[in-house]
Amino acid sequence: MRLLIVDDAPEVVESVQLNFMLLWPDATVVAASDGESAHRALADAPFDLVLLDIGLPDGDGFTVLEEIRRSSNVPVVMLTARDGTDEKVRGLQLGADDYVTKPFNHRELIERVRAVLRREHMARSMGPIVRMDDFEMDVEHQEVRIGGRLIELTPTEYNLLHYLVDHRGVVQRHDAILQHVWGPEYEDEVEYLRVYVARLREKLGDDSEHPRYLATARGHGYRFGPPADAPIGVRG
């Protein structure tokens, strides 16, 4: 496993490298101290995951994240000393897969990294084609198309959509979705779910008020497609 940490604090980088060496010896941790060197590292070799600090000397991590997402779906975990909900939501909206606040427990960080990589692996290991109107999900090739147009999804977005499609017609509770897609330690992170559903709706061209694909059951969860017991052509 190759991991890139982008952080200008040498003590943070050294502690992360040391703890991965002790707790995950098969992992290689490469360091970049700013956005420019991070982009060079990503261009030179593939990485399985990026740990990205928000505060960088040549800009902020949000800008770096936006640039990464223009060309790559590599999983990204944000690192920050800020504990505000606004920063967390912004990172998730821009395509971050998770968010860890400094100072962090290194075992927790490694478990978060493992959880993100499990989700990415899940996205690569699911089976056939599902169609509904102009929506098509090719599970074998991990592709989603609307009217034949390919929709670019991150692994977490894909896993979330696949879970809802797999249970199409039936409302899935917030906690059940979070446990399945993110992991049992995320079952209370409803904000993650709201942000990712909003991202999916935007990419699918869906309307939350009159949804074709992702319907909200207020206070309960979400459903893909019309209710299972609805007559053909009726959507919630």
153: domain CATH number is: 1.10.10.10
Within a domain: 56: yes
pLDDT above 70: residue 161: yes
Q: Which of 75, 99, 120 is the last residue of a domain?
A: 120
Q: Which two tokens stand for residue 201?
A: 């709706």
Helix (H, G, I), strand (E, B) or coil at 36: helix
Residues 98 and 30 in one domain: yes
Residue 26 has pLDDT above 50, yes or no: yes
The reply to whether 115 and 26 lie within a common domain is yes
pLDDT at residue 123 in the model: 57
Nearest in space to 137 (alpha carbons), one of 164, 112, 173: 164
φ, ψ dihedrals at 216, nearest 5°: -100, 130
Domain boundary among 96, 120, 144: 120
233: in domain: no
- The pTM of the full predicted model, rounded to 2 decimals, is 0.69
Can you give the pLDDT at residue 187?
87
- Strand pairing class (2-6; 55-56): unpaired
Q: Same domain, yes or no, for 92 and 9?
A: yes
Q: What is the DSSP letter of 56?
A: E
153 and 94 belong to one structural domain? no
In angstroms, the CA 17 to CA 191 distance is 30
**Cα 6–chain centre separation:** 18
Q: What percent of the chain has pLDDT over 70?
A: 92
* Domain end position, chosen among 60, 88, 120: 120
Looking at the fold, whether 9 and 103 belong to one and the same domain comes out as: yes
> In this predicted model, what pLDDT tens digit does every residue of 55-92 receive, in sequence order?
899 888 999 999 999 888 899 999 987 666 788 888 88
Given this model, what pLDDT does residue 233 score? 35
pLDDT of residue 174: 96
Report the CATH number at residue 116: 3.40.50.2300
pLDDT at position 59 is 83
Grouping H, G, I as helix, E, B as strand and the rest as coil, residue 200 is helix
Whether residue 229 is contained in a domain is answered as no
- Of 15, 47, 43, the C-alpha closest to 30 is 47
Of the pLDDT bands very low, low, confident and very high (cuts 50, 70, 90), residue 228 is low
| Residue span of the structural domain in which 40 resides | 2-120
Query: Taking the chain, what is the end-to-end CA distance rounded to the nearest angstrom?
Result: 43
140 vs 97, which has greater pLDDT? Answer: 97
Residue 110 counted as domain residue: yes
CB atoms within 10 A of CB 117: 17
Q: How many domains does the chain have?
A: 2
User: Residue 179 has what pLDDT?
Assistant: 92
**pLDDT at residue number 135:** 93
Decide: helix, strand or coil at residue 100: strand
Q: What is the mean pLDDT of the chain?
A: 88
Task: For residue 11, give the DSSP letter.
Answer: H
Tell me the C-alpha distance between 219 and 236, whole Å.
15
* Predicted confidence band of residue 230 (pLDDT cuts 50, 70, 90): very low
Is 236 within the bounds of a domain? no
Phi-psi domain of 193 (left: phi exceeds 0; alpha: psi -120 through 50; beta: other): alpha
d(CA 157, CA 119): 10
Chain segment 89-136, per-residue pLDDT in tens: 888 889 899 989 888 888 989 998 998 888 777 655 555 778 888 999
- In total, the chain counts a number of residues equal to 236
pLDDT tens figures, 196-222: 999 999 999 998 888 899 999 988 999
Mean pLDDT for 4-29 is 94
Q: Hey, which residues does 5 pair with through a beta bridge?
A: 31, 51
> Other C-beta atoms within 10 Å of 78: how many?
25
Answer yes or no: do 29 and 91 share one domain. yes
Count CB atoms within 10 A of the CB of residue 60.
Answer: 15
Question: Which pLDDT score, from 0 to 100, does residue 118 have?
Answer: 82
> Quick one: pLDDT at residue 109?
93
Supply the pLDDT for residue 236.
36
